[in-house]
Amino acid sequence: MAALLAVRDVVTAYGKIEALRGVSLEVQEGSITCLLGPNGAGKTTLMFTAAGILRPRSGSIQFAGKDITSRPPHAIVAAGIALVPENRLVFPNLSVQENLRAGAYQRGDGMEIEADIERLFHRFPRLRERASQNAGTLSGGEQQMLAVARALMSRPKMLLMDEPSLGLAPLVVEEIFRIITELHRDGTTIFLVEQNAHMALKVAQHFYLIEQGKVTFSGDPGSLAEDEVISRAYLGSARQ
């Protein structure tokens, strides 16, 4: 089966500093694929490169057979990818509803947009309670749900999630991962970056390990002892 997302030899740099030094990986359609690695390994850089915020210096990214390398972020959304960024980045001075409408910006089908908002409120009841409140007043967990819901408003084929559990209480983290599982069951492909390796490995079908800008391991959750994965995810391997 051809991969939905194919990243080949991507090099992304900030000035002279190469954050990604030739990253290659694939995300299969219908899967939850997870990218683990220590801080500074390049996880967020890869997410931003895939989402069009950063342009790679070399390499290519293909999505559903089309080349999306170096396309601007709004074109990436049009192609069917939505990123839930690290730290949620909701629009604090827009209401919850307006945040969702912003996520649907590229769509023209008014009635369906309203139906989607209704469906998302059903999935995230706390957002319905706060529909007219400004997003800046929401708690961390609620903002995370809003960020996910906003990304879903564009009806993406693939959801990119950058550290969805960051800064959230354990109960909320469980809820987030429950939602990830639900979305997967409903057919969305998910590419997930996480520091919380334990939770991520429970839901992923495939995972990659990235260390210092290069992929150092690729496999399914059973293939490496969990404690070794976790130590490499948090600390990087001693040999590097």
Partner 1 sequence: MLVDLLQNTLDGVAIGASYALLAIGFTLIFGVLRRMNLSYGPAIMLGCYAATWTHLEFQAGLLALALVAVGATVLAGAYVERLCFAPHRRGSAIAAMVGSFAIWMQLEEVATLALPRHIYPFPVLVEAAPLQFGGLFLPRDAIVSIGATLAACLLLHCLLYRSRFGIAVRAAIDNPMAASLAGINLSSVFVRVFALASAIGGVAGYLIVATHGQVTPMLGMWSTLKGLLAMMLGGLGSLPGAVIGGLALGILESHSQWFLGPQARDLVAYLLLFALLAARPAWMTRWTTTRSAS
What does the alpha-carbon distance between residue 142 and residue 148 come to, in Å, rounded to a whole number? 10
Amino acid at position 106, single letter: Q
Nearest residue to 51 via CA among 7, 19, 115: 7
b/e code 116-134 from CB counts within 10 Å (16+ = b): bbeebbebbeebeebeeeb
The answer to whether 73 contacts partner 1 (rule: CB under 8 A) is yes
Q: Which residues contact 114 (CB under 8 A, 6 or more apart)?
A: none
> Rule CB under 8 A: which of 96-125 touch partner 1?
98, 101-103, 105-106
The answer to whether 169 contacts partner 1 (rule: CB under 8 A) is no
Q: Which residues contact 64 (CB under 8 A, 6 or more apart)?
A: 4, 79, 80, 157
Q: Which of 150, 158, 191, 196 binds partner 1 (CB under 8 A)?
A: 150
Q: Which of 9, 66, 78, 131 binds partner 1 (CB under 8 A)?
A: 78
Residue closer to partner 1 by CB (options 10, 51) is 51
Min separation Cβ 151 and partner 1, Å: 8
The answer to whether 53 contacts partner 1 (rule: CB under 8 A) is yes
The answer to whether 74 contacts partner 1 (rule: CB under 8 A) is yes
The answer to whether 219 contacts partner 1 (rule: CB under 8 A) is no
Q: Provide the token pair at 181.
A: 């599982």
SS3 assignment, position 15:
coil
The answer to whether 143 contacts partner 1 (rule: CB under 8 A) is yes
Amino acid at position 166, single letter: L
**In this chain, which stretch among 10-18, 49-57, 170-178, 202-210 interacts with partner 1, using CB under 8 A?**
49-57
Q: Are strands 58-63 and 66-67 parallel, antiparallel or unpaired?
A: antiparallel
The answer to whether 90 contacts partner 1 (rule: CB under 8 A) is yes
The answer to whether 85 contacts partner 1 (rule: CB under 8 A) is yes
Interface with partner 1: number of residues (CB under 8 A):
31
CA of 63: how far to CAs of 5, 31, 79, in Å? 5, 14, 8
The answer to whether 83 contacts partner 1 (rule: CB under 8 A) is yes
Q: Which of 6, 22, 60, 91 binds partner 1 (CB under 8 A)?
A: 91
What does the alpha-carbon distance between residue 108 and residue 206 come to, in Å, rounded to a whole number? 35
The answer to whether 93 contacts partner 1 (rule: CB under 8 A) is yes
Q: Which of 9, 39, 67, 89 binds partner 1 (CB under 8 A)?
A: 89
- Point out which residues bind partner 1 (CB under 8 A): 51-53, 72-74, 77-78, 82-83, 85, 87-94, 98, 101-103, 105-106, 136, 140, 143, 150-151, 154
